[in-house]
Amino acid sequence: MSEDVRVGIIGAGAIVRLSHLPAIARVPGVRAVAIADPDSDRVKVLADEHDATAHADYREMIAAGGLDAVLVATPNHLHRDIVEHATAAGLHVFTEKPVAHTLEDALAIERACTAAGVVTQTGFNQRFREPVRLAKQGIAAGVVGDVLAFRSVYSESHAVYPAATGYRYNLAQSGGASILDLAIHRIDLARHLVGDIVEVCATIDHATIPHPADDNVFLLLRFASGATGVISADRFSPQVSNATDLYGPTGTIHVSSETRNPFQSVPLAFSSLLPHDQLPADFANADWPSAWWLDYTPGSWVSITPPRLSPYDAEWAAFVAAIGGTVDPDVPTIGDGVRAQEIVTAAYRSVREHRWVSLPLEDPAEPIPSYS
């Protein structure tokens, strides 16, 4: 592309300040030229820092022109109106996850983007983390054989994330707390690494946090491939717990995509029955035997510590490339965000009706649970 992609940022919260704007500043071919947020003080500070114009209203920002794309990083219930305005102006759309606060709105967003023919992306940043990229490569190479079981946990206290507002715990705005803020990352990871999910059974509870919102989530999954899986997420654990395991007849891959602790002591580890010469290079070259003259032993555990690169840089590079015509099928579109939201909706229905729920859903309408 001969010119930079000009992006209008909608929302000036922590994810924009800490992750997206610094990434945009580092990635070639993209510039943040405008920022919109009703908090005039907050948006002015960010706009001044990044040499962008400040707007109190995203409609005003879009109407002013001079944009190629928007980043939607607002409370979830606002996404639909924003995307419909942006696509009416022909702008490409990068929306933070989840796509919306309900599946009905998410589907409307997908229709608007499809009708406008714009490039879309959903902010499932964990796909872009190096341990996940290597795990995907290892699965494709047969390190574990066919994935038969998937297990993932994502715990993070409600009190640790530096958010400026508490909208995540206002379910009318967010659509869900632990499930739509944490578990949805692992739902997308499950789809990315294992494939389509065809059945869901769930428990979703409020246990202890001081907000009337879900803080303890367990999802049982059945995949189209025949694999099974489980995802858990909570908002009360004081320490972040972040681990995904994939099991098959040939081996196991462990991924700790964001953080480490005594229970997830390395970012990536694998054990495989494949001989050394059949492992992908990044896996084979990571083996450090206990003595240099010893050979790799199939079935042993090998730890890998890949470089800790910003997934947000990779997200924005992928978005710019897609706008330029280079599309990577592993990059999550709005469609991937809608499929993840459908699984959340199926989980809500599973809890309400006390049963397994099959996908795709014939009826997208499902009430947001109440925990008051």
d(CA 222, CA 191): 11
Task: Give the model's pLDDT for residue 116.
Answer: 98
Q: Could you tell me what percent of the chain has a pLDDT over 70?
A: 99
pLDDT of 1 > 60? The answer is: no
82 within 8 A of 58, measured Cβ to Cβ = yes
- What does each C-alpha distance from 60 to 48, 64, 205, 295, 348 come to in angstroms? 18, 6, 40, 65, 37
Domains of the chain by start residue, with CATH: 5-125+313-332 (3.40.50.720), 127-309+342-353 (3.30.360.10)
- What does each C-alpha distance from 290 to 287, 294, 364 come to in angstroms? 10, 7, 55
CA angle centred on 343, ends 339 and 345, rounded to 5°: 110
HSE of 160 in the Cβ direction (CA atoms, 13 Å)?
11
Task: Give the model's pLDDT for residue 2.
Answer: 56
User: Closest Cα partner for 350 from 222, 252, 259?
Assistant: 222
pLDDT tens, position by position, 183-194: 999 999 999 999
- What does each C-alpha distance from 366 to 43, 82, 99, 229, 357 come to in angstroms? 35, 22, 16, 23, 13
Q: How many helical (H) and strand (E) elements, i.e. helices and strands, does the chain have?
A: 13, 15
- What does each C-alpha distance from 72 to 111, 189, 207, 226, 346 come to in angstroms? 17, 21, 31, 36, 25
Tokens at residue 161, please?
């994330």
- Residue-averaged pLDDT of the chain: 96
pLDDT of 352 > 70? The answer is: yes
Single pTM value for the model: 0.95
Name the pLDDT band for 260 (thresholds 50, 70, 90): confident
**DSSP states along 176-192:** -SHIIIIIHHHHHHHHH
| Dihedral pair phi/psi, residue 80, rounded to 5° | -60, -50
